[in-house]
């Protein structure tokens, strides 16, 4: 498309992709998933999943996006015109919007908690703070609205001036914040147990479920199967090395998840709290820790609490922006809307669905879909089914539908990247055979979880 924007360079592209990958998945989901599934053993399996499964999938998405320079729907039509693949592409335009809806609610909680932790009374009422806050009617709605509005403003500003710029400044800040929190957490008395938990594997707890969860977590954390990496890759220039870009993204994401683990787990053990506390871990557990700390220094406990929730907000924003862009690019390029109008349409959809998700944890808890409240339904539908299905779709498309020569051209930049020429064969094998088989097996096992 003429006049289509792109990222200024390889660094901008990696920052944006890493921004998409690093998010609530790393700070909120990773520590509690590791906590519930055997600590270090889960982490080792997770790392193997990232390298042998998620990286080939990520490359597939990158190849589709970069070689077509199109949105998630248009890319399929451009590469395989007149086939049903575009409808599969459309599915991956819709799924990130569903994720964005509940993601924005959790992003909103983080804003709410960052503000709450400024107040002196924050540490007295902790035990019920999270439940009260997330199930109340209007407070989380206001926070969800603010979170979504900030996302919309960045996306509206465009690829270079909005998305690239935001990621360029916020990602380094995020790393600094999380390292500071980890250092603080590690300095707490009793934190050694948490470190042990993260580095000493206990394989006796590992089951096939652990592997399924580790794979699901790596898909979620790397933003796979829902068109975000595809859409961002469509803004990557032709001469950028996509293996380097994808591998760096995965490496940053893993590094961040590990540091977040060291920020959360030592504090959890220092406070003597059960590591498998589940999704409420960082919202319910950490405030307890801040209370404990306030016995030592109330001011410090407030500062750490604010910084911690602020870092969650930033991490969530860099991800929500990428989800928002998938739908925006689709509406602009396929429905010929102006960028402003497209941003407004996406806002309306995700704002309303987000309101339903939020209310479903409180006043609307009686409204059930397949036995689940709206929030949980959207989460399970996307994390367990749509993401896995989308990931399968992308590897099958690259491995079986696209011509090998086209894939080779794109992967090696026309044979100009020496290392990529060398690793093409094994990676293509992973994309064509290993990834689809493993993803299908896990998909089936998800049905029985
Ligand atoms: N990867 C993001 C995280 O770790 C979540 C995400 C999922 C972002 C799907 C975009 C698309 O929080």
Indicate the pLDDT class of residue 285, thresholds 50, 70 and 90: low
Given a cut of 80, whether residue 295 has pLDDT beyond it is no
Closest CA to 167 of 360, 7, 60, 330: 7
Which atom of ligand 1 is nearest the CA belonging to 387?
9
Least confident residue range of 115-124, 194-203, 249-258: 115-124
pLDDT attached to residue 128: 60
Indicate the pLDDT class of residue 1, thresholds 50, 70 and 90: very low
**Please, are residues 210 and 41 in contact by the beta-carbon 8 Å criterion?**
yes
Task: Report long-range pairs for 300-306 (Cβ below 8 Å, ≥24 apart).
Answer: 301/123, 302/117, 302/118, 302/120, 302/122, 304/181, 304/184, 305/113, 305/117, 305/122, 306/114, 306/117, 306/118
Closest CA to 257 of 3, 46, 2: 46
CB distance 446 to ligand 1 below 6 Å: no
Q: How far is the CA of 214 from the centre of ligand 1 (A)?
A: 15
Q: What is the mean pLDDT of residues 130-150?
A: 87
**Rounded distance, CA 287 to CA 308, Å?**
10
Indicate the pLDDT class of residue 69, thresholds 50, 70 and 90: very high
**Please, are residues 223 and 386 in contact by the beta-carbon 8 Å criterion?**
no
Q: How far is the CA of 384 from the centre of ligand 1 (A)?
A: 14
Question: pTM of the full predicted structure?
Answer: 0.93
Q: Provide the CB-side half-sphere exposure for 57 (13 A, CA).
A: 34
CB distance 170 to ligand 1 below 6 Å: no
**Please, are residues 396 and 437 in contact by the beta-carbon 8 Å criterion?**
no
CB distance 99 to ligand 1 below 6 Å: yes
CB distance 220 to ligand 1 below 6 Å: yes
Q: How far is CA 74 from CA 335, 349, 372, 402, 435, in A?
A: 11, 21, 34, 15, 24
**Please, are residues 53 and 62 in contact by the beta-carbon 8 Å criterion?**
no
CB distance 216 to ligand 1 below 6 Å: no
CB distance 228 to ligand 1 below 6 Å: yes
CB distance 24 to ligand 1 below 6 Å: yes
Which residue from 30, 72, 103, 389 has its CB within 8 A of the most atoms of ligand 1, so it is best to mutate?
103
Q: What is the mean pLDDT of residues 137-149?
A: 94
Q: What is the mean pLDDT of residues 342-369?
A: 94
Which residue from 23, 58, 72 has its CB within 8 A of the most atoms of ligand 1, so it is best to mutate?
23
Least confident residue range of 231-235, 273-277, 403-407: 273-277
- Inter-axis angle of helices 404-412 and 242-270, to 10 degrees? 70
Q: What is the mean pLDDT of residues 323-343?
A: 98
Q: How far is the CA of 240 from the centre of ligand 1 (A)?
A: 23
**Rounded distance, CA 259 to CA 254, Å?**
9
Q: Indicate which residue's Cα is closest to atom 7 of ligand 1.
A: 223
**Rounded distance, CA 30 to CA 279, Å?**
10
Indicate the pLDDT class of residue 2, thresholds 50, 70 and 90: very low
pLDDT attached to residue 449: 58
Residue entry with tokens 């902790």: 126
Q: Indicate which residue's Cα is closest to atom 10 of ligand 1.
A: 223
Model pLDDT for residues 358-400, shown as the tens digit of each residue: 999 888 888 899 889 999 999 989 988 899 999 999 999 999 9
Q: What is the mean pLDDT of residues 31-51?
A: 90
**Rounded distance, CA 7 to CA 233, Å?**
9
Which atom of ligand 1 is nearest the CA belonging to 23?
12
Given a cut of 60, whether residue 279 has pLDDT beyond it is yes
Least confident residue range of 47-56, 384-393, 394-403, 440-449: 440-449
**Rounded distance, CA 60 to CA 76, Å?**
13
């Amino acid at each position: 498309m003429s006049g289509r924007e792109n990222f200024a360079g390889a660094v901008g592209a990696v920052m944006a992709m890493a921004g998409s990958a690093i998010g609530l998945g790393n700070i909120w989901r990773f520590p509690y998933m590791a906590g519930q599934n055997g600590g270090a053993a889960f982490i080792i399996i997770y790392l193997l999943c990232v390298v042998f499964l998620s990286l080939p999938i990520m490359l597939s998405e990158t190849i589709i996006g970069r070689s077509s320079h199109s949105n998630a729907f248009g890319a399929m039509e451009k590469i395989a015109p007149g086939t049903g693949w575009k409808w599969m592409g459309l599915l991956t335009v819709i799924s990130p919007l569903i994720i964005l809806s509940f993601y924005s609610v959790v992003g909103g909680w983080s804003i709410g908690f960052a503000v709450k932790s400024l107040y002196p009374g924050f540490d007295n009422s902790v035990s019920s703070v999270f439940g009260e806050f997330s199930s109340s009617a209007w407070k989380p709605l206001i926070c969800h609205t603010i979170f979504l509005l900030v996302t919309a403003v960045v996306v509206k500003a465009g690829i270079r001036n909005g998305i690239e710029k935001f990621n360029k400044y916020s990602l380094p800040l995020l790393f600094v914040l999380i390292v500071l929190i980890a250092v603080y957490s590690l300095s707490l008395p009793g934190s050694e147990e948490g470190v042990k938990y993260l580095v000493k594997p206990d394989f006796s707890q590992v089951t096939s479920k652990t592997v399924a969860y580790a794979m699901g977590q790596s898909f979620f954390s790397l933003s796979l199967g829902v068109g975000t990496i595809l859409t961002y890759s469509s803004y990557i220039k032709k001469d950028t090395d996509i293996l380097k870009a994808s591998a760096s993204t995965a490496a940053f994401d893993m590094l961040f998840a590990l540091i977040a683990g060291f920020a959360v787990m030592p504090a959890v053990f220092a406070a003597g709290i059960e590591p498998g506390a589940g999704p409420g871990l960082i919202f319910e557990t950490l405030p307890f820790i801040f209370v404990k700390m306030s016995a030592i220094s109330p001011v410090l406990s407030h500062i750490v609490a604010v910084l911690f929730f602020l870092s969650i907000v930033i991490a969530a924003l860099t991800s929500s922006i990428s989800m928002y862009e998938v739908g925006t690019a689709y509406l602009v390029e396929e429905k010929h809307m102006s960028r402003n109008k497209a941003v407004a349409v996406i806002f309306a959809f995700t704002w309303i669905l987000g309101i339903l998700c939020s209310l479903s944890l409180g006043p609307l808890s009686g409204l059930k879909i397949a036995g689940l409240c709206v929030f949980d339904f959207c989460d399970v539908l996307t994390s367990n089914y749509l993401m896995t299905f989308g990931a399968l779709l992308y590897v099958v498309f690259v491995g079986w539908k696209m011509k090998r020569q086209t894939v080779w051209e794109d992967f090696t930049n026309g044979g100009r990247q020496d290392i990529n020429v060398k690793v093409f064969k094994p990676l293509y094998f992973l994309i064509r055979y290993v990834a689809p088989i493993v993803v299908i097996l896990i998909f089936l096992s998800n049905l029985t979880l």
